[in-house]
Amino acid sequence: MPVQVPEISVVLPVYNEEESLPILHRELTASLRSMDRSFEIIYVNDHSSDKSLEVLLELQKEDSEAVVVQFPCNFGQTPAMAAGFEVSQGKIILTLDADLQNDPADIPKLVERLEQGWDLVVGWRKKREDGFVLRRLPSKIANRMIAGITGADIHDTGCTLKAYRRELLDNLPIYAEQHRFLPALAVASGARISEMVVNHRARRFGVSKYGIGRAFRVFLDLFNIKMLATFLRNPLLYFATLALPFGLIAAIVFVLWVSGAWEPNTAWFVMALFVQSTVFFVLLGLLAELVIRISGLHHAKSFDPMSMHRNQ
């Protein structure tokens, strides 16, 4: 008898959430079963130091829809997301945190909105149950910066609760701290994005795994995403921008040579060097433009070693 491929996959990165997991799993299964559709719940255990793995394996014994992915060491939330996407089978993929702050009851509404013709539906924690100084204020500033720099006018890019079409995720790269920038990358690829207000709950167990200290990494990733988004939209313009300084230096050397301010042989050598660099970047831009127009947006994914437990 062939194994049924689930319609919906839910991906959850897990790190030290042993107390939250049984409650979360009950809420998730109740919400998903209310939709009367096949599903799987993929827990990616990011090498938790508590008993999260034991709890997850016990949940899997009790529930055939549970899938457990175990990392051999702690890689972080973004690789955990990427691993979950890799092993997922559903045409619709949802993500949420495992700390009970995202509400699984919002899942049917996100799926309904996605199926109205959107490629990505982003949750908006309009009323956040977090501290203002360390969580809400930095989040507001970051969201405005992301919107201004990338053009993705999303109120809450940091909200993990999102619904994706598989076709979109198959064409988006995800690495470093960039899971929160997927809406910006989606905008660059021409995806249709919607936003929906979702419920946000106060943390019940443990402490937050994310502090203000990660702001610098996020800041660097933001500019990385901006460059990547620019490249995807117009690679020729991207490489032409890189070629511009070399072209300007070549022009300055030419003026110095014509005016007699620089010895001819030296001027010719330096000018030829920078002209070659300019032509090189322009040709790279033309080649990239050709590849993207012919092949579309295809990005290779690579993941760190992991073990997976799936019920047969």
- What whole-number distance in Å separates Cα of residue 109 and Cα of residue 97? 17
Domain 8-231 belongs to what architecture?
A: Alpha-Beta Complex (3.90)
- What mean pLDDT comes out for the span 27-52? 96
CB-CB contact of 226 with 150 (8 Å) = yes
Confidence of residue 60 (pLDDT cuts 50, 70, 90): very high
- What mean pLDDT comes out for the span 223-238? 67
Encode pLDDT of 165-186 as tens digits. Answer: 999 888 776 655 566 677 877 8
pLDDT at 305 > cutoff 50: no
Give the number of other Cβ atoms within 10 Å of residue 142's Cβ.
18
pLDDT at 303 > cutoff 70: no
- What mean pLDDT comes out for the span 63-70? 94
Encode pLDDT of 214-226 as tens digits. Answer: 555 666 666 666 6
Helix axes of 21-33 and 107-114: crossing angle, nearest 10 degrees: 50
- What mean pLDDT comes out for the span 232-240? 75
pLDDT at 241: 84
Cα dihedral: 185, 190, 191, 192 (round 10): 130
pLDDT at 22: 96
- What whole-number distance in Å separates Cα of residue 150 and Cα of residue 185? 8
pLDDT at 52 > cutoff 70: yes
pLDDT at 172: 76
Average pLDDT, the chain: 82
Encode pLDDT of 262-283 as tens digits. Answer: 888 888 888 899 999 999 988 9
- What whole-number distance in Å separates Cα of residue 273 and Cα of residue 268? 9
Higher pLDDT, 74 or 139: 74
Nearest to 65 by CA among 25, 104, 94: 25
pLDDT at 202: 86
Q: Scanning the structure block, which residue is given the tokens 């996020």?
A: 218
Query: How many separate helices (H) and strands (E) can be counted in the chain?
Result: 10, 8
Encode pLDDT of 91-142 as tens digits. Answer: 999 999 999 999 999 999 999 999 999 999 999 888 876 655 555 656 666 6
pLDDT at 300: 36
- What mean pLDDT comes out for the span 245-255? 91
Helix (H/G/I), strand (E/B), else coil: 298: coil
For the four alpha carbons of 58, 61, 63 and 65, in that order, the dihedral sign comes to: positive
CB-CB contact of 122 with 193 (8 Å) = yes
Residue 138 one-letter amino acid: P
Beta strands in the chain (DSSP E): 8-14, 39-45, 66-70, 92-95, 120-124, 162-165, 193-197, 307-310
Residue 73 is classified by DSSP as S
Residue 238 is classified by DSSP as H
Encode pLDDT of 181-192 as tens digits. Answer: 778 778 767 789
- What whole-number distance in Å separates Cα of residue 150 and Cα of residue 202? 30
Q: The tokens of 88 are what? A: 């997922």
